[in-house]
Amino acid sequence: MDINGRNFIKFQDRLNKYDLQNSPEAAEKQHSKGKLLAWERIHILFDEGTFEEIDAFVTPASIEKGFGRMTHTFGDGVIIGHGKISGRLAFAYAQDFNVMGGSLGAVHAAKIMKIQNMALKMGAPIIGLIDSGGARIQEGVASLAGYAGIFYRNVQSSGVIPQISVIMGPAAGGAVYSPSITDFVFMTNKTSHMFVTGPNVVKEVLNQDVSFEDLGGAEVHARKSGVANMIYEDEENTLLGVRKLLSYLPSNNLENSPYVFLAETQKDTDEKLREIVPDDTNKPYDVKDVINLIFDKGSFYEISELYAQNIVIGLGRLDGKTIGIVANQPKVLAGTLDINSSMKAARFVRFCDSFNIPLLALEDVPGFLPGIDQEHSGIIRHGAKLLYAFADATVPRITIILRKSYGGAYCVMNSKNLGGDFNFAWPTAEIAVMGPEGAVAILYRKELSESDDPAKLRKDLAAKYRSEIANPYIADEKGFIDEVIDPSITRKKLISAYEALENKHVSVPSRKHGNIPL
């Protein structure tokens, strides 16, 4: 038949009907809430002109009459497809809240599972743009089965391809568990929400009044629950943040991260590093100052910045190569490890190890946070997660002890006997079972109790302990660290060490998997 015949007319008619789903009225409905259309989000996320949609014209499953109206639409409320992000293949799905509230039915779920399967088969990242009212009630168990199928594929892809969830509206009930399995969760302030049970159910069951924002807003999940890794003030910057994160990551677990050429020559030594750690061992400083001087200029991308701020995690580039950073933060809780910081760091270490990203630990930790709440809430089990994560990691692992390194926390932060490949220390390092003041109080209890000036004696004894026991040279001489280095050459030393570790290979015991203390 002629291309201008009836077949072409039908073909064009479907295209016109599909375009009407993104009408000016639909756009205004989203824009009035500070949100973008699903297609607008796709256009920001992917390189211009590269996204190819799949299954655009599928229609919702039929249901028995009398159980709610089903709108006849193409696509069933979700866009799926593939394209390029910074020139590299990526897959995505974007739920469309303007089509049946983005609710998930059998066909909607089948589309998401289809693109998940494709991403896993092709070894490319998958990004979920989530904006959905949840399970489609009219379809009953089929909706729940759809969620389960998506969760299953999340687990199968875990550690094989990067999975990123971008919450761009509501994510409620069972819908929240797919994001929680993925590697990173992005949220937009004021317009995205996550909760297992919404405000209405909380009111009905517990008689508590709470707003969407206070129950499951971006700030709540970024600061309190730790569910959200990154939050931004608008959707455009949220999506640009996803693009930036992907620039640090390999496409799958068989590749290395992309190399980025330095825009300008950067010195491998910096004497400013000698000035950061204060002479007073109890005085705080910002470990991010150390990170920014060591790594390529402007390359540090912090993750979970607002949560458990006593530890800093993120990705940086060292001479163009991606490195995962875990650093104690002396500015917050003196850099102690607690439950939340241990879990935050352990999860990140596991991610880096899954995707061949070398690790660097910057250590200044006086120990684990003491207290009844921490002990009763399981600091032993949660602290062991970080210990397990480092010990189980086979990627190149380097530690630099900047200052304090006491007790069990010394062991946990990628110590030599935990499998650290290179362990360095600055001259300001203090390595001991406990801090000088605590040690003196135990070792010289009798002398202190009988002294005419216990405060002066304690100070003198602590100085002696620091000089004769806690200094880094003893650990160096006994082989527990590889070298005490001049802080100014830290970048140069790290570049050389990671080059030496490029072909690192570890043979692990034959087993199905270990049993991390979850």
Question: Is the four-CA dihedral 310, 159, 109, 28 of positive or negative sign?
Answer: positive
Q: What is the pLDDT of residue 394?
A: 97
26, 131, 170, 470 from 31: Cα distances, Å: 9, 14, 15, 60
For 472-498, write each residue's pLDDT tens digit.
999 899 999 999 999 999 999 999 999
Q: How far apart are CA 136 and CA 143, in angstroms?
A: 6
pLDDT class for 374, splitting at 50, 70, 90? very high
174-194: average pLDDT: 95
Instruction: State the CB neighbour count (10 A cutoff) for residue 446.
Output: 8
Q: What is the pLDDT of residue 136?
A: 87
Q: What is the pLDDT of residue 134?
A: 83
Q: How far apart are CA 315 and CA 359, in angstroms?
A: 9
Closest CA to 417 of 475, 355, 351: 475
Where in the chain are the domains? Answer: 36-246, 271-432+472-500, 436-469
Mean pLDDT, rounded, of the chain: 91
Q: How far apart are CA 500 and CA 111, in angstroms?
A: 45
Closest CA to 257 of 9, 517, 498, 15: 498
Mapped onto helix, strand or coil, the DSSP state of residue 472 is helix
Q: What percent of the chain has pLDDT over 90?
A: 70
Q: What is the DSSP string of 495-518?
A: HHHHHHTTT---PPPP-S------
Q: Is 500 left (phi over 0), alpha (psi -120 to 50) or beta?
A: alpha
Asked if the model's pLDDT at residue 62 lies above 70, the reply is: no
CATH of 271-432+472-500, picked from 3.90.226.10, 3.30.750.24, 3.40.50.2300, 1.10.238.10, is 3.90.226.10
Q: What is the pLDDT of residue 1?
A: 47
Q: What is the pLDDT of residue 312?
A: 98
For 13-22, write each residue's pLDDT tens digit.
777 777 767 7
Q: How do strand 321-328 and strand 311-318 relate by DSSP bridges? A: antiparallel
For 206-250, write each residue's pLDDT tens digit.
889 999 899 999 999 999 999 999 999 999 999 999 999 999 999
Q: What are the DSSP E strand ranges found in 366-493?
A: 397-406, 422-425, 430-432, 483-484
Q: What is the pLDDT of residue 186?
A: 98
For 439-480, write each residue's pLDDT tens digit.
888 888 888 887 888 888 888 888 888 878 888 999 899 999
Q: What's the distance, CA 232 to chain centroid?
A: 15
Alpha helices in 260-309 (DSSP H): 287-294
495-510: average pLDDT: 94
Q: Which has more confidence, 201 or 192?
A: 192
Q: What is the pLDDT of residue 107?
A: 92
Q: Check if 36-246 and 271-432+472-500 are the same fold.
A: yes
Amino acid of residue 128: G
For domain 36-246, is the CATH number 3.40.50.1010?
no
Element spanning 436, H or E = helix 436-443
Closest CA to 287 of 269, 263, 314: 314
Q: How far apart are CA 81 and CA 132, in angstroms?
A: 18
Mapped onto helix, strand or coil, the DSSP state of residue 425 is strand
What tokens were used for 263? 């825009």
Residues with active-site annotation: 173-174, 408-409
Q: What is the pLDDT of residue 69?
A: 53
What tokens were used for 268? 């491998």
For 251-264, write each residue's pLDDT tens digit.
999 999 999 988 77
